[in-house]
């Protein structure tokens, strides 16, 4: 696959964007889209279950998947069940829990075996949450998440706890947006993207990773290595992404207007 950069057409220049990163092009040769969910396709919310389906999101995902012959996947830290709930099962291809769950284009599903330390982490997180109001524990079987969006004062203590548990259990510590996750080793959003790109209909296409937080940097780097690029959603920061969009509404605008060039 070539590594030539796509050309930004005149329409893209009109999109309002975060400082320092230009908006992504609207016209791309054979794109393959890999989309994070929270903060990209759906606004961030106080609790994981507060993110709900939305007709515009569902319609945009179905339309772009049809337009690009199925070369669209959600790549999320959420479980596949949560991805399907929020997206109303708009896409067949999806990756959950940072690549530990993956549904292929044919509908078959691969799930990694959970590391033994996940149960230890869940129990420790639950004990922490019992002492700190507003903290939420998410048990994903192959990982454990500690959400502190409703208790921002607990961020330092939550991070310290996760760091100690990672050392003791061998789990991978994955910081996110007001969440710390301890996950079974072996995958990330970059490995998920790369694996999709080895299979039809994604093989040979131009990979585009659209994400908002640190977990998406793996996907940005993987897309760049395969001749594509990353799109950072939200405020500008140090990133491997080459393009940026301000927020969820602008992502949906871009998806609705995105075209494939010959």
List residues with catalytic annotation: 36
Query: Taking the C-alpha atoms of 92, 98, 101 and 105 in order, what is their torsion angle to the nearest 10 degrees?
Result: 30
Q: Pick the closest to residue 91 from 173, 49, 35 (CA basis).
A: 35
Q: Pick the closest to residue 196 from 25, 32, 23, 84 (CA basis).
A: 32
Reported as type and span, the H/E element at residue 245 is: strand 243-245
Q: Which DSSP letter does residue 210 get?
A: E
Dihedral-angle region of residue 178 (phi above 0 means left; psi in -120 to 50 means alpha; beta otherwise): left
Q: Pick the closest to residue 72 from 243, 254, 217, 244 (CA basis).
A: 254
Count of C-beta atoms within a 10 Å radius of residue 130: 10
Structure tokens at 178: 């007001």
Helix, strand and coil content of the chain, in percent to the nearest 5, comes to 35, 20, 45
CA 88 to centroid of chain Cα atoms: 17
């Amino acid at each position: 696959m070539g590594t030539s950069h796509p050309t930004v057409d005149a329409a893209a220049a009109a999109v309002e964007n975060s400082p320092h990163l230009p908006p992504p092009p609207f016209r791309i040769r054979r794109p393959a889209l890999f989309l994070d969910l929270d903060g990209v396709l759906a606004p961030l919310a106080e609790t994981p279950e507060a993110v709900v389906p939305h007709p515009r999101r569902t319609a945009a995902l179905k339309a772009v998947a049809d337009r690009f012959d199925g070369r669209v996947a959600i790549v999320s830290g959420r479980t596949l069940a949560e991805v399907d709930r929020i997206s109303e099962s708009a896409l067949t291809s999806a990756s959950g829990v940072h690549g530990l769950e993956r549904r292929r284009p044919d509908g078959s599903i691969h799930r990694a075996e959970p590391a033994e330390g996940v149960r230890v982490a869940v129990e420790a997180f639950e004990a922490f949450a019992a002492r700190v109001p507003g903290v939420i524990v998410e048990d994903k079987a192959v990982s454990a998440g500690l959400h502190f969006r409703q208790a921002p004062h607990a961020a330092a203590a939550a991070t310290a706890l996760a760091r100690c548990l990672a050392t003791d259990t061998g789990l991978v510590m994955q910081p996110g947006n007001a969440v710390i996750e301890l996950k079974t080793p072996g995958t990330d959003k970059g490995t998920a993207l790369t694996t999709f790109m080895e299979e039809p209909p994604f093989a040979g296409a131009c990979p585009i990773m659209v994400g908002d937080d640190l977990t998406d940097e793996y996907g940005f780097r993987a897309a760049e290595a395969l001749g594509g690029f990353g799109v950072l959603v939200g405020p500008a920061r140090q990133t491997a992404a080459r393009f940026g969009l301000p927020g969820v509404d602008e992502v949906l605008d871009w998806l609705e207007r995105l075209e494939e060039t010959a």
